[in-house]
Amino acid sequence: MGLFGPSWKATRCKAQLQMVVGRKRLQKNKKELANKATKKAVAEMVREGKLDNASIKVEVVLQEEALLRAFELIELYAELLLVRMSLLDKEKVCPEDLREAVASVVFAAPALGDLPELTQVRKDLTAKFTKEWVGEMVPIYLNPDLRELLTIRTPDPAVKFEKLSEIVAEHKVEWDAEAARVKLLGGAVPPPRGGDGGTGAGSVLAEPPQPAAQPQPVPVAVAQQFVPVQQPVAQVQYTYVQGLAPPPQVVLAPPTFATGVVTAPPPTTGVPPAQA
């Protein structure tokens, strides 16, 4: 920019980035000590049975830890810009591999009041690449993790309970975890645990699992086998009159499935058999 706005100076921006790195390290140590003291206070509240106070105080722990992680990212981007400052000074358009660093530093400057030098770095980068370009590129190239860390919102109850459990375990405080879970998760009933050994959480009787229904066999039509029935063999009767032999009468029998051959007596010649 010209006379009516801030101008770009590489030396000034470099000096401010160096101060950001140094101040960040001081702030990190300070916040780590404060976070440790806050965790101890939360553990004492749980030991005294002040679960409501502890659940509120644990939100401070979550915010401080998110801020510490944001500091780490800002330090990384600041060191990258310091190394590439000569290239950044020569280029009229921001190099592709530096756009995430520029966008993240510009976004984080208003949220990180503990690093006031970031405000001047933001002004210098805006003067270098114009306010319009910065406004368009920040939503595109901003690190989504940094956005999440610097966004202030009410933490999820499950996240609060997990952090509270971690603090209690770290300080070896005895407490009723199941009762705390029900209270912090809005009265949700915790899942039953088998063989709790009388922890006071209460036993939940569950019906035994029913066996799965077995598929019924599908009836299959079976072809009936034809079994032939044997019919009685027809008998041929002959009548003999002494002195007269009538011609033999042949009676045809109906077809049967019986096996065997019917043998008829030989025809007579009209002479009666000799008397014994």
DSSP 32-93: HHHHHHHHHHHHHHHHTT-HHHHHHHHHHHHHHHHHHHHHHHHHHHHHHHHHTHHHHHH-SS
Q: Which range is least confidently modeled, 107-111, 161-165, 198-202, 266-270?
A: 198-202
The 10s digit of each residue's pLDDT in 40-68 is 999 999 999 999 999 999 999 999 999 99
Q: Is residue 79 part of a domain?
A: yes
Whether residue 200 is predicted with pLDDT greater than 90 in this model: the reply is no
Q: Is residue 252 part of a domain?
A: no
Q: Is residue 165 part of a domain?
A: no
Whether residue 195 is predicted with pLDDT greater than 80 in this model: the reply is no
Three-class SS of residue 261? coil
The 10s digit of each residue's pLDDT in 127-175 is 999 999 999 999 999 999 999 999 988 899 999 999 999 999 999 999 9
Closest CA to 98 of 121, 123, 77: 77
Assign 252 a pLDDT band (cuts: 50, 70, 90): low
Q: How many whole angstroms separate alpha carbon 19 and alpha carbon 115?
A: 9
Max alpha carbon distance in the chain (Å)? 167
**Residue 125 · residue 109 · CB < 8 Å:** no
DSSP assigned state of 96: G
Task: Calculate the average pLDDT of the chain.
Answer: 77
Question: What's the CATH number where 74 sits?
Answer: 1.20.1260.60
Taking phi first (over 0 means left), then psi (-120 to 50 degrees means alpha), and beta for anything else, what does residue 131 get?
A: alpha
pLDDT in the model for residue 179? 87
Whether residue 239 is predicted with pLDDT greater than 60 in this model: the reply is no
Q: Is residue 17 part of a domain?
A: yes
Q: How far apart are the first and last CA of the chain?
A: 160
Whether residue 204 is predicted with pLDDT greater than 50 in this model: the reply is no
* Domains held by the chain: number: 1
pLDDT in the model for residue 272? 52
Percent of all residues in the chain with a pLDDT value above 90, rounded to a whole number: 56
The 10s digit of each residue's pLDDT in 72-108 is 999 999 999 999 999 999 999 999 999 999 999 999 9
Closest CA to 173 of 161, 185, 164, 162: 164
pLDDT in the model for residue 226? 44
Q: Is residue 94 part of a domain?
A: yes
Give pTM, 2 decimals. 0.64
Q: Which range is least confidently modeled, 8-12, 23-27, 186-190, 217-221?
A: 217-221
Q: Is residue 206 part of a domain?
A: no
Evaluate the CA torsion angle 25, 27, 33, 35 in order and state its sign: negative
| Range of the structural domain that residue 119 is part of | 10-150
Q: Is residue 241 part of a domain?
A: no
Return the amino acid letter for 253. Answer: A
pLDDT in the model for residue 7? 85
Q: Is residue 3 part of a domain?
A: no
